[in-house]
Amino acid sequence: MAYLELNNVSKTYGKGANATEVLSNINLQIEEGEFVAIVGFSGSGKTTLVNLINGLLQPTSGEVIFKGNPITGTSHERGVIFQNYSLLPWLTVYQNVSVAVKETFPKENKKFRENRVKEYINMVNLTPAIHKRPKELSGGMRQRVSIARALAMDPEMIIMDEPLGALDALTRGNLQDEILNIWNKDKRTALLITNDVDEGIYMADRIIPLRPGPNATLGPEFKINIDRPRDKTSLNDDPEFKKTRNGIIEYLMEIGEERTTTETIEYTLPDLEPKYFD
């Protein structure tokens, strides 16, 4: 049995005539210690998939199994870095991370917790902003707080829902490396949802495309046969990188075209009498 398993998972939103099956028949196995990336189009169901694995949603059919047991709710063992930072606006950077650390390590002493909060804030280079509130931070800084908060909780599995999308290239690159360091050093398991193929190749062991929804399914996996640690600057010239990148992009273009040629959208216009005003 794999560390995480999704067996024939489907998720439908709505009921009766309004029902839409967003995900259909998703099968995914992730082994302990693996880093898997899922790439997909906007609106294809990526966040729905993350929430099923996180335990915020239950599948309509099929099963999501974590370490041999069905997932029935959220757990500290699986830490999620969300797309939209979800910080508590009335708390400072320190306090936002501290709340999470307190919840995860209730038995540890104050000094341990303080050190842990400071360590993770420092890791995302936010020590100078430690006493600021979210409204005083840029979008990128807020996302860094949310990364520090998730990682400070010491999750066994790190689940990332497009966590770096809003960041500038330099910050994005640094945080990719920080996440990889933590994953590697502490032998975590990681699932990254991204729309950036290069990011997926740089970080993951395997990339799996999510075919566009409704009825989104997972496409064939692409193994990344590039030794670690990977070097960003020389990656562009690596023949294996080019081959993998081309393969994934061609596949995404193919399914993207299918989507635009087979999709029929019907719009019902409101049946309104024109109204004239004097």
Ligand X SMILES: Nc1ncnc2c1ncn2[C@@H]1O[C@H](COP(=O)(O)OP(=O)(O)OP(=O)(O)O)[C@@H](O)[C@H]1O
Residues in touch with ligand X (CB under 6 A): 13-14, 22, 40, 42-48, 213
Given the complex with ligand X, which of 152 and 216 has the nearer CB atom? 216
- Cis, bond preceding 229 (omega within 30 deg of 0): yes
Nearer to ligand X, 119 or 196 (CB): 196
Closest distance to ligand X from the beta carbon of 20 (Å): 7
Edge-to-edge, what's the strand order for the sheet holding 20-30?
20-30, 4-13, 61-66, 69-70
Residue with tokens 């500290």: 76
Residue 99 in contact with residue 150, Cβ under 8 Å? Answer: no
Rounded distance, CA 52 to CA 47, Å?
Answer: 9
- In whole angstroms, what is the distance from residue 26 CA to residue 8 CA? 5
Looking at beta carbons only, is 47 or 98 nearer to ligand X? 47
Rounded to 5°, the CA angle 188-193-195 comes to 140
> Is residue 212 within 8 Å of residue 40, measured between CB atoms?
yes
Give the residue with the Cβ less far from ligand X, 116 or 172: 172
Choice between 178 and 199, CB closer to ligand X: 199
The residue count of the chain comes to: 278
Q: How far is the CB of 267 from ligand X (least distance, A)?
A: 16
Question: What is d(CA 231, CA 193) in angstroms, rounded to the nearest whole number?
Answer: 21
- For residue 152, the minimal CB distance to ligand X (Å) is 25
Cβ nearer to ligand X, comparing 116 with 142: 142
